[in-house]
Amino acid sequence: MAVCSALQDDEVSELERAMSFVRLGPNDALVEEGEPRRRVYTLTSGMLRLSLALPDGRRQITGFLLPGDYLGLADDETYAQTAEAVMPSGLCSFSVRDMDRLVERFPRLRDRLHLMTRAALRQARETQMILGRLTPSEKVASFLLSMSARAVAHGRPASPVLLPMTRTDIADYLGLTIETVSRTFTKLKTQGLIRLPDPHSVEILDRDRLATVAGITIN
Amino acid sequence: MAVCSALQDDEVSELERAMSFVRLGPNDALVEEGEPRRRVYTLTSGMLRLSLALPDGRRQITGFLLPGDYLGLADDETYAQTAEAVMPSGLCSFSVRDMDRLVERFPRLRDRLHLMTRAALRQARETQMILGRLTPSEKVASFLLSMSARAVAHGRPASPVLLPMTRTDIADYLGLTIETVSRTFTKLKTQGLIRLPDPHSVEILDRDRLATVAGITIN
DNA sequence: CGACACGTTGATTACGTTCAAAGAGTGTGG
DNA sequence: CCACACTCTTTGAACGTAATCAACGTGTCG
């Protein structure tokens, strides 16, 4: 659990006493936008999507959480966004009260959380650039490279990138329609940059050219 | 200075001893993307724009700073974004070393900074929704309402909203072209929702209908 | 006055969306 | 076991909107 990586063994065991486990199936909602923030979580396995919704149903996915990521970094009294499982997922859960107490006692834990919040903010701003200024091809290419880099950071191979989320999720993340996402995958495939053994795995055939398409927005 | 609002008088005076002042004229750059982060700043007057740039010149403005806002919340060893003055601006400046020491000694200061970082993250995610899912009219309307709300938070009137930034800045913030921004202002004017005494001040004539156009994305 | 930056407006184009349909994969029930 | 329903993805055709290209207007400063 990445949030613990800054702690000593005795501190970790203290943390473990306060925590409980949660299992989620695909599309299960963990928390809903606007709900009071009673518990915080760290993802141990699977993948979560974070999203904001408009009254008319439009949706923006603000990010995908991978194992080690923390849920509730930005939120205050209530959750500002919905969190749902993309695939079967496991989480460690703490009451906000317990976590506040632990943070008080273990400065390293607090520093770690602050660090993660700052990284999330940098990431969110990078995403603003992607949403506001990149073309569909650039968006999809940078998304693939980003997911590949995150896989590597988790000790997984860089190349068959696994995308457990649907095309709708990708579209709602990149500010596109599912048709445009699908067509863009097809285009990258036609150009020989990727292979699509199936819709949820992407083999990167030419990383350099893909990075060029992405406009060197490697994150 | 908002960053001090959580401190006691003697703590504030301690802070003041470590700080120096900076003045910027319009379009002066305070820090550049990629530059090492040696100092941090709080804005005392004026307005700053934060931006990311692509090699080909495309630009995304990630936010506008108003007095009380802190520069360097997200940044680590280097600044992740460029900060430039939109209008004549004044700032308080601290060396990172001094600030780290002060944060160590005054927990309230640290908590305050963490709180501001979390608020910035929520804001950035709200902006992701604006960039990814709103139409040009909705973008401009929500931008006007947001700037109006921030003016009110600074004790200024809600209605003639002052927009010291150029149309190019607004376009680069909302992910549009200057022509579209200009046309959208004209359209809102024609619909009787706003008045445009001059390009840099917007009088809100019908706040409710403007909020409807914004898609109830009031932040 | 002339040069320049900024904003607005108009005409045209092009790209992504929308609408529509078909294909692929999966699970359920007859 | 297969038919059927359902979801997800892909592909095609038509449309519409924002981008692009271009010109003009306005204000400011040297």
Residue B219 falls within a domain, yes or no? Answer: no
Based on the fold, state whether residues B161 and B73 are members of the same structural domain.
no
**Mean pLDDT score of chain B, rounded to an integer?**
93
CB of A70 nearer than 7 A to strand D: no
Q: What is the mean pLDDT of residues B176-191?
A: 98
Based on the fold, state whether residues A27 and A100 are members of the same structural domain.
yes
| D26 C1' to B171 CA distance, Å | 21
Q: Provide the pLDDT for residue B4.
A: 59
Q: Provide the pLDDT for residue B18.
A: 83
Q: What is the share, in percent, of chain A residues with pLDDT greater than 90?
A: 85
**A positions 123-142 inside 8 Å of B (CB):** 124-129, 131-133
- B124 to A126: CB separation less than 8 angstroms, yes or no: no
- A175 to B60: CB separation less than 8 angstroms, yes or no: no
- Judge whether residue B215 has pLDDT over 90: no
| C13 C1' to B58 CA distance, Å | 21
Based on the fold, state whether residues B180 and B124 are members of the same structural domain.
no
CATH number at residue A85: 2.60.120.10
Based on the fold, state whether residues A33 and A49 are members of the same structural domain.
yes
| The nucleotide closest to B175 (CA, C1' atoms) | D18
Q: What is the mean pLDDT of residues A202-218?
A: 89
Q: Of B128, B162, B179, which one is at a domain's C-terminal end?
A: B128
Q: Of B85, B106, B128, which one is at a domain's C-terminal end?
A: B128
What's the domain range around A144?
135-213
Q: Provide the pLDDT for residue A215.
A: 82
Shortest Cα–Cα distance, B185 to chain A (Å): 19
Based on the fold, state whether residues B45 and B118 are members of the same structural domain.
yes
Map chain B to HEC letters.
CHHHCCCCHHHHHHHHHCCEEEEECCCCEEECCCCECCEEEEEEECCEEEEEECCCCCEEEEEEECCCCEECCCCCCECCCEEEECCCEEEEEEEHHHHHHHHHHCHHHHHHHHHHHHHHHHHHHHHHHHHHHCCHHHHHHHHHHHHHHHHHHCCCCCCCEECCCCHHHHHHHHCCCHHHHHHHHHHHHHCCCEEEEECCEEEECCHHHHHHHCCCCCC
Q: How far apart are CA A177 and CA A184, in angstroms?
A: 11
Residue A193 falls within a domain, yes or no? Answer: yes
Based on the fold, state whether residues A181 and A107 are members of the same structural domain.
no
Based on the fold, state whether residues B14 and B67 are members of the same structural domain.
yes
- Judge whether residue B6 has pLDDT over 70: no
- Judge whether residue A5 has pLDDT over 80: no
Q: What is the mean pLDDT of residues A90-99?
A: 93
pLDDT digits (tens, 9 = 90+) for B29-49: 999 999 999 999 999 999 999
- Judge whether residue A19 has pLDDT over 80: yes
Based on the fold, state whether residues A68 and A41 are members of the same structural domain.
yes
Based on the fold, state whether residues A111 and A142 are members of the same structural domain.
no
pLDDT digits (tens, 9 = 90+) for A135-190: 999 999 999 999 999 999 999 999 999 999 999 999 999 999 999 999 999 999 99
Shortest Cα–Cα distance, B50 to chain A (Å): 10
Residue A120 falls within a domain, yes or no? Answer: yes
Strand ranges for A7-100 from DSSP E: 20-24, 29-31, 39-45, 48-53, 59-65, 70-71, 82-85, 89-95
Interface mutation vs chain A, best among B49, B78, B133, B143, most A CBs within 10 Å: B133
Q: Of B128, B146, B174, which one is at a domain's C-terminal end?
A: B128
Based on the fold, state whether residues A66 and A152 are members of the same structural domain.
no
pLDDT digits (tens, 9 = 90+) for B119-167: 999 999 999 999 999 999 999 999 999 999 999 999 999 999 999 999 9
Based on the fold, state whether residues B90 and B120 are members of the same structural domain.
yes
| Overall number of domains in chain A | 2
Q: Does A82 touch chain B (CB under 8 A)?
A: no
Residue B29 falls within a domain, yes or no? Answer: yes
pLDDT digits (tens, 9 = 90+) for A49-86: 999 999 999 999 999 999 999 999 999 999 999 999 99
**Mean pLDDT score of chain A, rounded to an integer?**
93
Residue A55 falls within a domain, yes or no? Answer: yes
Among the partner-chain residues A118, A132, A133, the one whose CB lies closest to the CB of B74 is: A118
Residue given tokens 């863009």 in the structure block? A184
CATH number at residue B203: 1.10.10.10
pLDDT digits (tens, 9 = 90+) for B48-107: 999 999 999 999 999 999 999 999 999 999 999 999 999 999 999 999 999 999 899 889
- Judge whether residue B8 has pLDDT over 90: no
Based on the fold, state whether residues B13 and B81 are members of the same structural domain.
yes
